[in-house]
Chains A and B, each alone.
Chain A
Amino acid sequence: MSKKNKKREALSGKPKERIPSYVKDLLKSYFEGIDMDDPEKGILICTETDMNGSMEFSKGHIALCRDRLFVLESEPVPGEVHFFKGRETLSSKVQTVKREWTVKEYSLADMKEVKIERTVGGGFLVLVHKNPDDEEADGTAEVIASFSNHRIGQTTRVERLCEKIAAKEEIKEDESEEKEEEFCPICGMMYPDEDRKICPRCMNKKSILFRTLGYLKPYRMQIVLLMLCILVYSGLNIIWPYLNGVVLYEKVLAKNDSFLASFGIPGGKYVLALGILVLTMLGTKILLQLFGILQGVIAAKIVPDLVKTLKTDVFSSMGKLSISFFTSKQTGSLMTRVMSDAEEVTGFFIDGLPYFLVNIFTIVAMSIVMFLLNPILAVAALVFMPIAFLISWKMLPRLWHRYGRRHRATRSLNSKVHDNLQGARVVKAFGQEESEVGRFDKSNEKVRSADMAVLNYDNKFSALYSMAENFASLTVYVIGAFLILKAHSINLGILITFTGYVSQLTGPMDFMSFFFRWYTNCMNSAQRMFEIIDAIPEIQEKPDAIKLDHIDGTVEMKHVTFGYEKHKPVLKDVSLKVKSGEMLGIVGRSGAGKTTIVNLISRLYDPQEGQVLLDGYDVRDLSFETLRGYVAMVSQETYMFMGTVAENIAYARKDATREEIIRAAVLASAHDFICRMPDGYDTMIGSSGRELSGGERQRISIARAILANPKILILDEATAAVDTETEQAIQQSINLLIKGRTTISIAHRLSTLRDANSLIVIDEGKVAEEGTHEELIAKKGVYYKLKELQTKALALKGIE
């Protein structure tokens, strides 16, 4: 049984305990006659901590019951390894060392709250005491547990459960359970990335290889042809030294009549034989060239095709992914790499794999031929091969590493230059040209030293490698000469054939030495690609999704709780309702969660709790067509795609007529500035085209929304980035746009919301106030203060 299988068996036999048995033993005295496993009376949740009160790494636990909280701390055990994310395994969690524990008990009735405070590398749990009788002690805070970032996620669950208990809310079963799938089921190692459930240790490379091979299926014929070509090519390469050496010297020049006779050449006609041999040799060389060309032609036919197929596959899968996939930092870098991955994978399968097979064939065939010709010389020729192989096996990765460093240094230098050109105004304004030269010099010096390192190592490598090669040929020459002169067992022809083989063997050997690294790189690339191709979007259309032909446009949120990261809710229990055709204004400081509300309504994300309803239907039940067809958004970030102005306006409705496009532009007060541009509606915009100003872009995106003619319109700070005059113009367009539609408008400037039927104020993820403008003013709360602030404090002196 393999080691892996044994491990799997050992782990599967031990289901993970919710509460470790030693924790139960420690807490036994507190739970007389009560079942600790019962979430109602016993322990609700038991989490781990990894630091003690003296800020040392050591194991600890927090156990929460409905009425009290236990904190278990231990003294650090010298020499004990501390495992962090990605290194922890199920077996490293098993308690093996004996340690000193201290148990502290806190009653939930005596505390105001339990909250986590984050530090730079971790956090601590703070308990705020409640003591109504003693004013001095009331509200005092105390640190009760410490942990690194590794354990902060678990501890937030304790924090949240405490909150729920205090609010007497119902606790669902899954809230107290830890996710099981964080660990690889085979080796028990924790996944380095929760969102990518791939265990690097157990990743099945074989299946990736075969799956990638599947992409080659349509090119079966070409691949077979390609292999054949390479095979013939290397076969001819084996024949050439034989013709050039043995046949020429030993048979023809040695006037071997019986050899000539076997080819039907009458004895004595040596010149004829020589002529035929020369022609054969010439033919061999021509064939070699021909097959070389053919091989290149076939490869050139397959490669671009395959790269295209792979890229299309990846890109179309990327489009299906949820927005969260794109915003998470780690996957973001994954995306940009994936396109070059397609090339890497194809390159390997066309250039790498066939040559690998052929090189094995060449090495084996050549060795056999050599041994048949002369075993002593064969040993002499082959004895240095492993050394050459070893040299490149050992040194090539290091050489690449140096190349990589030079690449990085050059890139950093280039970006410094780029940075400087971009900031030329600032550099000049502050007179920092000199110091910038200094900074440049520093980077330049790094490139120089990286370059030197490459050259030095490259020289070293080349010298060593060719030395090994030369030793090989030298040995063959020396032994060959000895055999010819002293032993008379061979003649010149064989020696020449052998030297030909020796020089041809180094190529395949060299190839083999870096093939395995190439293989690993390719498998990594392929794995990243498949990961995206296979990724299951979080936001999915239900198979039986409802399609609506008409909607009224009522939007409602019911008790929605949501956070981009599960443990950090951005919206807490938010409820709101907008009637059909009405306008809701959302006010709140930045970071309060306004844009998140919009993201949920347009279903870029799904709420963790609660519902978002459209015409009374849960948005999760509606088809994407309905959802995207009736909801449009004008946001602060106006993205212009590469293309003409007309194409950008018609982005959501490709079938729009020219007149419709112009009408939309007129309504968005964009028509005038578009006509002023020399190329009118055909003006190219986007990354390579004409630069538009913020206001112009904003107006084009409003035209886009007008043309889309949505029933529900979302305005997310639509006028925040433009000057006052433009804002006025855009505001007019918006007023036209919102007629007859349900509108949700987010704004900093309250003046933009004066037409709103109702308003809500969001603060710290909660609805702080709601009502009409008049109601909120009368309330003299947050909204009132904000309004006063904007009209009085920000007003210019002497104007109002």
Chain B
Amino acid sequence: MGFKQFEGADEEFNLEQMEAETEQMLRLRMITKDNATFARTKGGFVSLDLSESIAAEHYDRIRVVRSFPFTDRNKYISIRTIDEKSKEIGMIRDLTTDVDPETRKMLEEQMDIRYFTPIIKKINNIKDEYGHAYFDVETDQGPCKFVIYMNSSSVVNLSDVRLLISDLDGNRFEIPDYTKLSARELKMLDLFL
């Protein structure tokens, strides 16, 4: 357990309070449209008000995190505090049913920023040289040229057909289904399959 929560606390050490906090950490709280209200902030973030049915709390800003970013992007969305400890405030079981469409849009916007990943639509060229591979691709964000290390962690199979490519800086690019690429593109990509 860290120090943060003790900071500035002048009152005597309270064992009960601490145990209560620990208990809180071990609980999975589900957030739905019935017990929470999300709202856009002026600065482009989202704030959260929890109703009294779970805990009357207000958060100026929240962080929206996917539990299964690759395999289930709409389920088990974790709502967390924005400080370094990033404590979980609650979880949305299913974004499609448990919140209203407006909230869903709001949260998806936040996640689009967090999980920003250009989709590779076409491979113009891949050249491998001296331990690096030089990619020249067309993405949904326009043409991109990037470099990856020639090791197994640079190109990861997310499923049998889905690839995630990370460049030198850790920028991510995705190929949703490589079997749909042309024979020429596949040939260039063959090195990483």
**Per-residue B-contact encoding for A759-800, CB less than 8 Å = 1, 0 else:** 000011000100000000000101011101100110000000
Whether B190 pairs with A142 at a CB distance below 8 angstroms is no
Main secondary structure of the interface of A (DSSP, over half): mixed
**Per-residue A-contact encoding for B142-175, CB less than 8 Å = 1, 0 else:** 1111110101000000000000000111111000
Q: Interface-forming stretch among A77-85, A252-260, A482-490, A732-740?
A: A77-85
- Given A120-B114, A120-B116, A785-B13, is A141 in contact with B43 using a C-beta cutoff of 8 Å? yes
CA A152 to CA B84, docked complex, whole Å: 18
Write out the residue numbers on chain B whose beta carbons fall within 8 Å of the beta carbon of A126: 43
Answer whether residue A68 sits at the interface, using C-beta atoms and an 8 A cutoff.
no
B70 CB, min distance to chain A CBs, angstroms? 11
Answer whether residue B42 sits at the interface, using C-beta atoms and an 8 A cutoff.
yes
Among B10, B131, B167, point to the contact of A84 (Cβ < 8 A).
B167
CA A79 to CA B138, docked complex, whole Å: 9
Considering residues B6, B15, B69, B82, which has the most beta carbons from chain A within 10 angstroms of its beta carbon? B6
Considering residues A122, A148, A768, which has the most beta carbons from chain B within 10 angstroms of its beta carbon? A148
Q: Please name the residue on chain B nearest to A124 by beta carbon.
A: B113
- Given A121-B117, A763-B3, A782-B6, is A82 in contact with B145 using a C-beta cutoff of 8 Å? yes
A785 CB, min distance to chain B CBs, angstroms? 4
Q: Please name the residue on chain B nearest to A83 by beta carbon.
A: B145
Write out the residue numbers on chain A whose beta carbons fall within 8 Å of the beta carbon of B144: 57, 81-84
Whether B131 pairs with A148 at a CB distance below 8 angstroms is no
Answer whether residue B61 sits at the interface, using C-beta atoms and an 8 A cutoff.
yes
How many of chain A's residues touch chain B, expressed as a range? 35 or more
Whether A82 pairs with B141 at a CB distance below 8 angstroms is yes
CA A524 to CA B131, docked complex, whole Å: 9
Write out the residue numbers on chain A whose beta carbons fall within 8 Å of the beta carbon of B15: 792-793
Answer whether residue B51 sits at the interface, using C-beta atoms and an 8 A cutoff.
no
Whether A789 pairs with B171 at a CB distance below 8 angstroms is no
B187 CB, min distance to chain A CBs, angstroms? 10
Write out the residue numbers on chain B whose beta carbons fall within 8 Å of the beta carbon of A193: 168
Among A86, A122, A143, point to the contact of B146 (Cβ < 8 A).
A86
CA A56 to CA B44, docked complex, whole Å: 16
Write out the residue numbers on chain A whose beta carbons fall within 8 Å of the beta carbon of B69: 120
Answer whether residue A616 sits at the interface, using C-beta atoms and an 8 A cutoff.
no
A300 CB, min distance to chain B CBs, angstroms? 31
Q: Please name the residue on chain B nearest to A53 by beta carbon.
A: B44
Whether A55 pairs with B116 at a CB distance below 8 angstroms is yes
Within B1-60, the residues touching A (CB, 8 Å) are 1-3, 6-7, 9-10, 13, 15, 18-19, 41-45, 60
Whether B147 pairs with A87 at a CB distance below 8 angstroms is yes
Answer whether residue B102 sits at the interface, using C-beta atoms and an 8 A cutoff.
no
Among A82, A333, A524, point to the contact of B143 (Cβ < 8 A).
A82
Answer whether residue A394 sits at the interface, using C-beta atoms and an 8 A cutoff.
no
Considering residues B15, B19, B170, B191, which has the most beta carbons from chain A within 10 angstroms of its beta carbon? B170
CA A78 to CA B140, docked complex, whole Å: 11
Among A86, A149, A330, point to the contact of B147 (Cβ < 8 A).
A86
Q: Please name the residue on chain A nearest to B131 by beta carbon.
A: A524
Answer whether residue A470 sits at the interface, using C-beta atoms and an 8 A cutoff.
no
Write out the residue numbers on chain B whose beta carbons fall within 8 Å of the beta carbon of A203: 130
CA A124 to CA B61, docked complex, whole Å: 15
Answer whether residue B134 sits at the interface, using C-beta atoms and an 8 A cutoff.
yes
A372 CB, min distance to chain B CBs, angstroms? 44
Whether A79 pairs with B143 at a CB distance below 8 angstroms is yes
Write out the residue numbers on chain B whose beta carbons fall within 8 Å of the beta carbon of A152: 169
Q: Please name the residue on chain A nearest to B12 by beta carbon.
A: A780
Within A48-88, the residues touching B (CB, 8 Å) are 53, 55-57, 76, 78-87
Whether A149 pairs with B169 at a CB distance below 8 angstroms is yes
CA A785 to CA B14, docked complex, whole Å: 9
Write out the residue numbers on chain A whose beta carbons fall within 8 Å of the beta carbon of B87: none
How many of chain B's residues touch chain A, expressed as a range? 35 or more
CA A763 to CA B44, docked complex, whole Å: 31
Answer whether residue B132 sits at the interface, using C-beta atoms and an 8 A cutoff.
yes
Whether B7 pairs with A192 at a CB distance below 8 angstroms is no
Answer whether residue A311 sits at the interface, using C-beta atoms and an 8 A cutoff.
no
Q: Please name the residue on chain A nearest to B110 by beta carbon.
A: A119
Whether A121 pairs with B145 at a CB distance below 8 angstroms is no
A553 CB, min distance to chain B CBs, angstroms? 31
Q: Please name the residue on chain B nearest to A58 by beta carbon.
A: B142
**Per-residue A-contact encoding for B82-116, CB less than 8 Å = 1, 0 else:** 10100000000000000000000000000011111
Answer whether residue A200 sits at the interface, using C-beta atoms and an 8 A cutoff.
yes
Whether B145 pairs with A792 at a CB distance below 8 angstroms is no
B193 CB, min distance to chain A CBs, angstroms? 8
Whether A140 pairs with B43 at a CB distance below 8 angstroms is yes
Among A57, A119, A127, point to the contact of B114 (Cβ < 8 A).
A119
Whether A786 pairs with B3 at a CB distance below 8 angstroms is yes
Whether B43 pairs with A789 at a CB distance below 8 angstroms is no
Among A55, A79, A789, point to the contact of B1 (Cβ < 8 A).
A789
Answer whether residue A643 sits at the interface, using C-beta atoms and an 8 A cutoff.
no
Write out the residue numbers on chain B whose beta carbons fall within 8 Å of the beta carbon of A104: none
Whether B145 pairs with A57 at a CB distance below 8 angstroms is no
B143 CB, min distance to chain A CBs, angstroms? 4
Whether B44 pairs with A142 at a CB distance below 8 angstroms is yes
Whether B132 pairs with A120 at a CB distance below 8 angstroms is no
Among B1, B149, B171, point to the contact of A150 (Cβ < 8 A).
B171
Answer whether residue A139 sits at the interface, using C-beta atoms and an 8 A cutoff.
yes
Write out the residue numbers on chain B whose beta carbons fall within 8 Å of the beta carbon of A786: 3
Whether B117 pairs with A589 at a CB distance below 8 angstroms is no
Answer whether residue A654 sits at the interface, using C-beta atoms and an 8 A cutoff.
no
Among A120, A192, A768, A788, point to the contact of B13 (Cβ < 8 A).
A788
**Per-residue B-contact encoding for A76-114, CB less than 8 Å = 1, 0 else:** 101111111111000000000000000000000000000
A257 CB, min distance to chain B CBs, angstroms? 65
Write out the residue numbers on chain B whose beta carbons fall within 8 Å of the beta carbon of A780: 10
A565 CB, min distance to chain B CBs, angstroms? 12
CA A127 to CA B43, docked complex, whole Å: 9
Whether B116 pairs with A121 at a CB distance below 8 angstroms is yes
Q: Please name the residue on chain B nearest to A150 by beta carbon.
A: B169
Write out the residue numbers on chain A whose beta carbons fall within 8 Å of the beta carbon of B113: 55, 119, 124, 146
Q: Please name the residue on chain A nearest to B169 by beta carbon.
A: A149
Q: Please name the residue on chain A nearest to B145 by beta carbon.
A: A87
Q: Please name the residue on chain B nearest to A763 by beta carbon.
A: B3
Write out the residue numbers on chain B whose beta carbons fall within 8 Å of the beta carbon of A41: none
Cross-chain pairs A/B with CB under 8 angstroms, 26 sampled = A53-B44, A56-B141, A57-B141, A57-B142, A76-B142, A80-B142, A81-B142, A81-B143, A81-B145, A82-B141, A83-B144, A84-B144, A84-B145, A85-B168, A86-B168, A121-B117, A126-B43, A140-B42, A142-B43, A143-B45, A149-B170, A152-B169, A200-B129, A589-B3, A768-B3, A793-B19
* Sample of 6 further A-B pairs with CB below 8 A, known A527-B130, A789-B18: A78-B142, A79-B143, A84-B146, A85-B167, A121-B117, A142-B43
